[in-house]
C-alpha cells in the first residue's frame, strides 16, 4: 500500500513570540518560518515545519534559501517518487548538499502523513514508548541580571525542573552565579551557540565548575571539535554539541575525539526524525546521552520533537516547553501544557496527534504556494 500525493503546500507564517528571545547570535521578536503540508489522494494530510529563520545566524540556512530549495528541487523530486516514504525522499535528495532544515520540513510532513495512513502516531511509528517526556526551559539573554533571576524564578514556579541559560562572553559568570545563588538546587545548563574563542576553555571551566553547571552546550565554533574535547577532559560537567553535529560522520568524529558527552538532537539540524533517532542510538552506544533540542517551533514542529523525545535513546530533559512559553496563540490544538514533574504528554492520536487550527494559520500566514504533481 503506497500513499499517492495530491499536493504540497508551503506556507510562510509569522508568529509573535510572547517575549523576545536573545541568544549570542541575535534577538528574535517574531518567528517567521515555513510550514509544509502534504496531502494524499485519499484526503489525508501531513505537516512539517522548517526551523530556518529570516537571517542565517544559527546555521547557513534561512527562510529564503529553504523556500528556494523546497520549490525548485525538493518538492519536484518528491513528486518523482513512486512511493513517497520519508526514507525514499531522504535517499533521493541526499545528493543535494546541506539544506537540512528544508529537507527536515518535508521529512516531517511525510512521517506525519505515513503515520496517519497507518492509523498510528508519529511517536509509535518511530518506536516511541514514553507517554510523557521530561522537559526544561531555555532562557534567553536578559537586559539585566535581576531580570534574569526573576525570569528563572517564574519558570520554576510554573513547574520547569531544568533551566538552560543562554550565555555569551560578557554574559556568563555574573548571571550564572546570580541564578545559582538564588536557586541553589536547580539543575542548570548553559548554551553559548559558538560564541567563545577556543582560548576561553579555562575561563568557562572555572565558572561552570564554581556554579555547578551540569552541562555546557556548544561554547566553540561548529568545526572546533578539538576545543570541545579539551573542555570535556576531566570536566565535572557534560559538554554538549549542538551545531557541530549535522550527520553520522560529524557525530563519529566527535565521539572518537571524546568531544561530546551529551548530544542535542534537532530534527532541523540533522534533516529529519529518522536521522535524529539514528544519531541518538549511535551516541547511546558510546554511553553518550541524548536529548531533543528546540528552535522555538510552533505546535507543528513541537509535536514532532515530542514524538522524537518519546523514543528510547533520548534520556535527558529536552528543550521543549509548553506552548504558552513561546506563543500566546499556537498554531495547533490542543496546545502543549506543562504536566507533573516538568513533563509534556506525548500525543497518541493519529500522526503528530494535534490539529493545525486553520483560522489561526490564515491570520498568521504571509504567503502561500501550492504544488501539484
CB-nearer residue toward Mg ion: 38 or 167? 167
- Residues in contact with ligand OSB, counted by CB under 6 A, come to a total of 11
**114, three cell numbers:** 505515513
Q: Which of 39, 319, 338, 360 binds ligand OSB (CB under 6 A)?
A: 319
Between residues 75 and 239, which has the closer beta carbon with respect to ligand OSB? 239
**Cα–Cα dist 53/58, whole Å:** 8
Among 11, 172, 187, 242, contact with Mg ion (rule: CB under 5 A): 242
Give the residue at shortest CB distance from ligand OSB.
Answer: 294
Rounded CA separation 212/225 (Å) = 23
Which is nearest to 37 in space by CA: 29, 28, 47? 47
Binding status of residue 138 toward ligand OSB by CB under 6 A: yes
Q: How far is the CB of 242 from Mg ion (least distance, A)?
A: 4
Q: How far is the CB of 113 from Mg ion (least distance, A)?
A: 29
Cell of 62: 534561512
Q: Is 191 in the site for Mg ion (CB under 5 A)?
A: yes
Clarify whether 103 is annotated catalytic: no
Least CB distance to ligand OSB at residue 321 (A):
5
Site for ligand OSB in 183-202 (CB under 6 A): 191, 193
Site for ligand OSB in 343-372 (CB under 6 A): none
| SS (HEC) of 147-158 | HHHHHHHHHHHH
| Residue 113 vs 322, nearer CB to ligand OSB | 322
Tell me which of Mg ion, ligand OSB, none is bound by residue 294, counting a contact when its beta carbon lies within the kind-specific cut-off of 5 to 8 angstroms.
ligand OSB
36 vs 139 by CB, closer to ligand OSB: 139
Name the closest residue to Mg ion (Cβ): 242
Question: If binding means CB under 5 A, how many residues of this protein chain bind Mg ion?
Answer: 3
294 binds ligand OSB (CB under 6 A): yes
Least distance in Å: CB of 181 to ligand OSB? 23
Residue 266 is a catalytic residue: yes
Torsion of CA 193, 195, 200, 201, to 10 degrees: 10
Catalytic residue among 29, 103, 164, 166: 166
Phi, psi of 176 (to 5 degrees): -65, -45
What 8-state DSSP symbol labels residue 242? S
**Nearer to Mg ion (CB atom), residue 117 or residue 291:** 291
Q: Which stretch binds ligand OSB (CB under 6 A): 74-82, 125-133, 290-298, 334-342?
A: 290-298
3-state secondary structure of 291: strand
Beta strands in the chain (DSSP E): 5-23, 26-40, 45-50, 132-134, 137-139, 162-166, 187-191, 215-217, 238-241, 262-265, 290-292, 332-333, 343-345, 355-356, 365-371
Among Mg ion, ligand OSB, none, the one that 354 touches (CB under a kind-dependent 5 to 8 A) is: none
Closest among 85, 134, 106 to 306, alpha carbons compared: 134
CB 273 within 8 A of CB 122: yes
Measure the CA–CA gap between 42 and 236, rounded to whole angstroms.
Answer: 55
* Angle, in degrees to the nearest 10, between helices 201-210 and 173-182: 10
Give catalytic residues, as residue numbers.
Answer: 166, 266
Binding site for Mg ion (CB under 5 A): 191, 217, 242
Binding site for ligand OSB (CB under 6 A): 58, 138, 191, 193, 242, 293-296, 319, 321
Amino acid at each position: 500500500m503506497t500513499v499517492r500525493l495530491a499536493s504540497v503546500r508551503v506556507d510562510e507564517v509569522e508568529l509573535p513570540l510572547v517575549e523576545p528571545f536573545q541568544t549570542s547570535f541575535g534577538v528574535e521578536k517574531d518567528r517567521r518560518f515555513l510550514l509544509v503540508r502534504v496531502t494524499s489522494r485519499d484526503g489525508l494530510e501531513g505537516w512539517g515545519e522548517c526551523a530556518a529563520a529570516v537571517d542565517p545566524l544559527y546555521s547557513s540556512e534561512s527562510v529564503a534559501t529553504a523556500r528556494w530549495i523546497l520549490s525548485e528541487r525538493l518538492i519536484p523530486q518528491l513528486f518523482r517518487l513512486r512511493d513517497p516514504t520519508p526514507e525514499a525522499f531522504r535517499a533521493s535528495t541526499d545528493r543535494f548538499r546541506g539544506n537540512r532544515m528544508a529537507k527536515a520540513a518535508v521529512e516531517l510532513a511525510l512521517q506525519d502523513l505515513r503515520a496517519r495512513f497507518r492509523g498510528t502516531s508519529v511517536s509509535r511509528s518511530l518506536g516511541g514508548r514514553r507517554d510523557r517526556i521530561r522537559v526544561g526551559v531555555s532562557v534567553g539573554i536578559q537586559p539585566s541580571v535581576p531580570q534574569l533571576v526573576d525570569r528563572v524564578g517564574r519558570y520554576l514556579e510554573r513547574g520547569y525542573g531544568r533551566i538552560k541559560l543562554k550565555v555569551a562572553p560578557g554574559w556568563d559568570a555574573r548571571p550564572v552565579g546570580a541564578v545559582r545563588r538564588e536557586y541553589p538546587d536547580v539543575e542548570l545548563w548553559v548554551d553559548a551557540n559558538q560564541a567563545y574563542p577556543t582560548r576561553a576553555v579555562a575561563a568557562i571551566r572555572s565558572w561552570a565548575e564554581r556554579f555547578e553547571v551540569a552541562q555546557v552546550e556548544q561554547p566553540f565554533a561548529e568545526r572546533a571539535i578539538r576545543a570541545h574535547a579539551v573542555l570535556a577532559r576531566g570536566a565535572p560537567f557534560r559538554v554538549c554539541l549542538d551545531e557541530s553535529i549535522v550527520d553520522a560522520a560529524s557525530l563519529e568524529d566527535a565521539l572518537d575525539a571524546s568531544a561530546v558527552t551529551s548530544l542535542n538532537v534537532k530534527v532541523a539540524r540533522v534533516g529529519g526524525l529518522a536521522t535524529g533517532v539514528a544519531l541518538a542510538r549511535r551516541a547511546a552506544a558510546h554511553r553518550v546521552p541524548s536529548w531533543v533540542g528546540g528552535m522555538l517551533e510552533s505546535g507543528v514542529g513541537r509535536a514532532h520533537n515530542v514524538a522524537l523525545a518519546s523514543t528510547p535513546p533520548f534520556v535527558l530533559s529536552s528543550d521543549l516547553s509548553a506552548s504558552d512559553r513561546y506563543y500566546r496563540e499556537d498554531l495547533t490544538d490542543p496546545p502543549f501544557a506543562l504536566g507533573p514533574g516538568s513533563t509534556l504528554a506525548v500525543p497518541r492520536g493519529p500522526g503528530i496527534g494535534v490539529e493545525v487550527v486553520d483560522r489561526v494559520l490564515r491570520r498568521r500566514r504571509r504567503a502561500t504556494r501550492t504544488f501539484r504533481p
